[in-house]
Amino acid sequence: MKSIMKKEASIAVIIIILSIVLSFINPVFLTIDNILDILKGNVVLGILAMGMTLVIITGGIDVSVAAVTTAVCVVIGKLLVMVPDHIGALFLLLVIACLLGIILGGINGFLVSKIEIPAIVVTLGTMSMINGIVLYVTNGQYLNSTDFPKVFLKFSNIKILGVSILIWLFFLIAILTWFLLKHTVMGREILAIGGNKESALRVGINFNKVQIFVFAYMGFLAGIAAIAQISYTKAVDPNGLSGLELSVIAAVVLGGTNIMGGRGTVIGTILGVLLLGIIQNGLILARIDIFWQKVVVGLIILLAVSYDHIQYKRAQAQLSRIEIDS
Amino acid sequence: MKKLKFFVSLLFLFGLLAGCVSQNSATSNKSANNGQASETKNDANGKLKIAVVPKLVGIPYFNAAEKGALQAGKDLGVDVIYTGPTEADAAQQVKIIEDLISQKVDVIAVAPNDPASLTPVLKKAKEQGIKVIDWDTPADQSIVELSIHQIDDEIYGRHIAKTLIEKIGTDKGEIAILTGGLSAANLNAWIDAAKKELEENYPGIKLVTDKIATDEKQQVAYQKTLDLIKSYPNLKGIMAFSTPAPLGAAQAIQEKGLQNKITVVGTALPKDSKPFLEDQSLDVAILWEPNKLGYLTVALAKDLVEGKKPQDGQNIDNVGKIEVKEDGKTVIMGPPTDFTAENAGNYDF
Q: Closest Cα of chain B to A286: distance in Å?
A: 8
8 Å CB contact between A211 and A201: no
Name the E strands within chain B. 49-53, 79-82, 107-110, 131-135, 146-149, 173-179, 205-207, 212-213, 235-240, 263-266, 284-287, 315-316, 320-321, 323-324, 330-332, 337-339
Higher pLDDT, B313 or B282: B282
Average pLDDT for B79-103 = 90
Query: Which pLDDT band, with edges at 50, 70 and 90, does B39 fall under?
Result: very low
What are the pLDDT digits (tens) for B45-64? 678 999 999 988 877 788 88
Closest to A117 in 3D by CA, of A196, A65, A61, A192: A61
Distance, in Å, from the CA atom of B56 to the CA atom of B63, rounded to the nearest integer, reads 10
A208 interfaces chain B, CB cutoff of 8 Å:
no
Higher pLDDT, A156 or B35: A156
Task: Examine the pLDDT at A155 and tell me if it is beyond 70.
Answer: yes
8 Å CB contact between B92 and B35: no
Query: Which pLDDT band, with edges at 50, 70 and 90, does A169 fall under?
Result: very high
Closest to A139 in 3D by CA, of B13, B267, B78, B56: B56
Q: Which residues of A277-299 are buried (b: 16+ CB within 10 A; e: fewer)?
A: bbbbbbbbbbebeeeebeeeeee
Q: What is the largest CA-CA distance in chain A?
A: 72
- Architecture per CATH, domain B153-287, reads as 3-Layer(aba) Sandwich (3.40)
Number of C-beta neighbours around residue B102 at 10 A:
11
Identify the closest residue of chain B to A113 by CA–CA distance.
Answer: B5
Task: Examine the pLDDT at B217 and tell me if it is beyond 70.
Answer: yes
Distance, in Å, from the CA atom of B48 to the CA atom of B77, rounded to the nearest integer, reads 8
A150 interfaces chain B, CB cutoff of 8 Å:
no
Among B174, B218, B282, the residue to mutate for chain A (most A Cβ within 10 A): B218
pLDDT score at B53: 95
pLDDT score at A89: 84
Distance, in Å, from the CA atom of A141 to the CA atom of A132, rounded to the nearest integer, reads 14
Chain B residues with CB under 8 Å of A41 CB are 219, 223, 226
Higher pLDDT, B123 or B326: B123
| Nearest residue, CB atoms, B219 vs list A111, A115, A240 | A240
Task: Examine the pLDDT at B344 and tell me if it is beyond 90.
Answer: no
Distance, in Å, from the CA atom of B296 to the CA atom of B72, rounded to the nearest integer, reads 8
What are the pLDDT digits (tens) for A214-238? 999 999 999 999 999 998 888 888 8
**Among A45-49, A200-204, A305-309, B274-278, the least confident range:** A305-309
Task: Examine the pLDDT at B20 and tell me if it is beyond 70.
Answer: no
Average pLDDT for A146-152 = 80
What are the pLDDT digits (tens) for B176-212? 999 988 877 788 999 999 999 999 999 999 999 888 9
Residues in CB range of A232: below 8 A, 6 or more apart = A40, A41, A43, A44, A156, A166, B219
Domain B42-151+290-333 has CATH 3.90.1150.10: no
Q: Give the mean pLDDT of chain A.
A: 85
pLDDT score at B13: 53
8 Å CB contact between B147 and B141: yes
Q: What is the DSSP string of B128-158?
A: TT-EEEEESS---TTT-SEEEESS-HHHHHH
CB contact under 8 A, A144 and B274: yes
Say what percent of chain A tops pLDDT 90.
33
Task: Examine the pLDDT at B19 and tell me if it is beyond 80.
Answer: no
Which phi and psi angles does B338 have, rounded to 5°?
A: -90, 125
pLDDT score at B45: 60
What residues of chain A, 105 to 124, have a C-beta less than 8 Å from chain B?
110-111, 114-115
Residues in CB range of A219: below 8 A, 6 or more apart = A51, A68, A101, A102, A103, A104, A105, A106, A108
> What residues does each domain of chain A span?
2-315
User: Strand B315-316 to strand B320-321: parallel, antiparallel, or no bridges (unpaired)?
Assistant: antiparallel
8 Å CB contact between B240 and B190: no
What are the pLDDT digits (tens) for B221-249? 999 999 899 888 899 999 999 888 999 99
pLDDT score at A104: 94
Query: Which pLDDT band, with edges at 50, 70 and 90, does B8 fall under?
Result: low
Query: Which pLDDT band, with edges at 50, 70 and 90, does A314 fall under?
Result: confident
**Among A11-20, B38-47, B126-135, B167-176, the least confident range:** B38-47
B210 interfaces chain A, CB cutoff of 8 Å:
yes
Higher pLDDT, A319 or B342: B342
Number of C-beta neighbours around residue A152 at 10 A:
22
Number of C-beta neighbours around residue A84 at 10 A:
8
Task: Examine the pLDDT at B11 and tell me if it is beyond 60.
Answer: no
Q: Closest Cα of chain A to B347: distance in Å?
A: 15
pLDDT score at B27: 40
CA B118 to each of CA A273, B81, B107, B188: distance values in angstroms, whole numbers, following the listed order: 41, 19, 15, 21
pTM for the whole structure: 0.75
Distance, in Å, from the CA atom of A56 to the CA atom of A190, rounded to the nearest integer, reads 10
What residues of chain B, 47 to 76, have a C-beta less than 8 Å from chain A?
58-60, 63
Coil, helix or strand for A5? helix
Task: Examine the pLDDT at B35 and tell me if it is beyond 50.
Answer: no
Distance, in Å, from the CA atom of A283 to the CA atom of A294, rounded to the nearest integer, reads 9
Number of C-beta neighbours around residue B308 at 10 A:
11
CA B128 to each of CA A266, B32, B35, B101, B119: distance values in angstroms, whole numbers, following the listed order: 62, 20, 16, 8, 14
What are the pLDDT digits (tens) for A185-215? 898 988 888 888 888 888 888 888 999 999 9
pLDDT score at B328: 83
Q: What is the DSSP string of A109-160?
A: HHHHHHS---HHHHHHHHHHHHHHHHHHHHTT--EEGGGS-HHHHHHHH-EE
Single-letter amino acid code for the residue at A306: S
Closest to A292 in 3D by CA, of B55, B209, B329: B209
Distance of CA A1 to the CA centre of its chain: 23
CB contact under 8 A, B275 and A146: yes
What are the pLDDT digits (tens) for A14-67? 889 888 988 888 888 888 888 888 899 899 999 999 999 999 999 889 999 999
8 Å CB contact between A270 and A320: no
- Architecture per CATH, domain A2-315, reads as Orthogonal Bundle (1.10)
Closest to A38 in 3D by CA, of A22, A25, A21: A22
